[in-house]
Amino acid sequence: MKLETSEYKKTKIFRLGELFCGPGGLALGAVSASAETEKAVYKIKHVWANDYDKDSCKTYVRNICPDAPESVICGDIRRLNVKKLPSIDAFAYGFPCNDFSIVGEQKGFSGTFGPLYTYGVNVLNHFKPKFFLAENVGGIIASNNGKAFEKILLDLENAGNGYALTAHLYKSEEYGVPQTRHRVIIIGIDKKLNLRFEVPAPTTLFDPVTAREALENPPIADNAFNNDPTRQSELVIERLRHIRPGENVWTAQLPGRLRLNVKGAKLSQIYKRLHPDKPSYTITGSGGGGTHGYHWEKPRALTNRERARIQTFPDSFVFEGSKESVRRQIGMAVPPKLSEIIFTTVLKTFAGIRYPSVPSSWENQMTLFANRSCT
């Protein structure tokens, strides 16, 4: 951990490296986080990041590290030489979730993306950072009958000098995010430090931020970045006019000509309109008709800026690339609001600052892992 001294306090800076960085949702939360005691200020500083998507890398550089574009290595992670990267003492990665998501075939480790978490393990083994954050979809819990998640936890625990893990299923709407986005986040702290991370208590458990609050308070400026509307066909407009707030194409009372002729699984998000007085449903980056997220009042898809608002990106955060590329980037990102809360509590843990907490989703499982590693 790097120390910087000032006339009054020391600034303790954790140098952050990141894999699968996307547009910078995790990073924005990390660099915005801080904790302060009477003697020191604890902060996180970006050092390097990697992603294979060119537009995501451009977005990350523009918003996170405009003065150090060379610190974002854009390319295939399989060709990334970790040993040539600058030293870090903090690490974050939202390893690709495609094979663990409930949307899809749930191939787990047998898929293309499942084994990619091991590249993060390699980083932990090489740099031995003081702490790390790993993020994935809730579907990872059930993948391979739970064996995939158990294997990932075991590999992360045994990496580096060994890590004390705290895994939890975070419900974003309980932390000020206007969206029912549920993600598994694992925090690991070097066991040698004898610190225990506790899950921060929800901040909006009984008063979630609604879609209306997110999009209208304050109103989005007409000239806001990434706010171009999507042109809708007359058929889609007519269909949406028959779908009430909170309904989707399957639950609405539609005339026969407006119904979808689909057999088998019927995704609840197809042409689903937001409910203005509830958090949004999960904003996704997937393509396909009817999956773009739809306004509760206006018969149209959400703009990318509206999606970014729901993901808690500030309006000053500019996404690079085509409209479809931006939509994918937003849908794949970690909400910066949730990221900042978690990184802040990590810093408080290192600073010795107490904060309201709740038991983790896997309290018993973590105890079992700890006991097993001692035998």
Q: Report the chain's mean pLDDT, rounded to a whole number.
A: 90
Q: Is residue 216 part of a domain?
A: no
pLDDT of residue 209: 98
Check pLDDT > 50 for residue 105. Answer: no
Helix (H, G, I), strand (E, B) or coil at 179: strand
Lowest-confidence pick of 69-78, 165-174, 187-196, 288-297: 288-297
Q: Is residue 310 part of a domain?
A: no
Show the domain range for 178. Answer: 2-204+334-373
- Residue 364's pLDDT band (boundaries 50, 70, 90)? low
CB 1 within 8 A of CB 29: no
- Residue 151's pLDDT band (boundaries 50, 70, 90)? confident
Check pLDDT > 70 for residue 360. Answer: yes
Query: Cα angle vertex 359, ends 183, 186, to 5°?
Result: 40
Q: Is residue 270 part of a domain?
A: no
Strand bridging mode 182-190 / 163-171? antiparallel
Check pLDDT > 60 for residue 373. Answer: no
Q: Smallest Cα–Cα separation from 126: which of 154, 87, 68?
A: 87
pLDDT of residue 112: 45
Domain count, the chain: 1
Q: Is residue 348 part of a domain?
A: yes
Check pLDDT > 60 for residue 111. Answer: no
Q: Is residue 70 part of a domain?
A: yes
- Tokens 């709407």 appear where? 173
Q: Is residue 359 part of a domain?
A: yes
Check pLDDT > 50 for residue 103. Answer: no
Whichever domain contains 160, its CATH number is 3.40.50.150
Check pLDDT > 80 for residue 366. Answer: no
Beta bridge partners, 13, equal 2, 43
- Residue 99's pLDDT band (boundaries 50, 70, 90)? very low
pLDDT of residue 2: 74
Q: What is the C-alpha separation between 355 and 146, in angstroms, rounded?
A: 31
pLDDT of residue 301: 95
Question: What are the CA-CA distances from residue 122 to residues 67, 119, 129, 285 (Å)?
Answer: 28, 5, 12, 28
Q: What is the C-alpha separation between 346 and 336, in angstroms, rounded?
A: 15
Average pLDDT of the residues in 163-187: 97
Average pLDDT of the residues in 253-271: 84
Catalytic annotation, residues:
97
Per-residue model confidence as pLDDT tens digits over 302-350? 999 999 999 999 999 999 999 999 999 999 999 999 999 999 999 999 9
Angle, in degrees to the nearest 10, between helices 323-332 and 54-64: 70
Q: What is the C-alpha separation between 119 and 262, in angstroms, rounded?
A: 39
- Residue 4's pLDDT band (boundaries 50, 70, 90)? low
Q: Is residue 222 part of a domain?
A: no
Strand bridging mode 34-36 / 40-51? antiparallel
Check pLDDT > 50 for residue 269. Answer: yes
* Percent of the chain residues topping a pLDDT of 90: 77
Q: Is residue 369 part of a domain?
A: yes
Per-residue model confidence as pLDDT tens digits over 30-61? 999 999 999 999 999 999 999 999 999 999 99
pLDDT of residue 368: 46
Average pLDDT of the residues in 279-291: 86
Average pLDDT of the residues in 261-280: 86
Check pLDDT > 70 for residue 113. Answer: no
Average pLDDT of the residues in 116-140: 92
Task: Please state the pTM of the whole predicted model.
Answer: 0.91
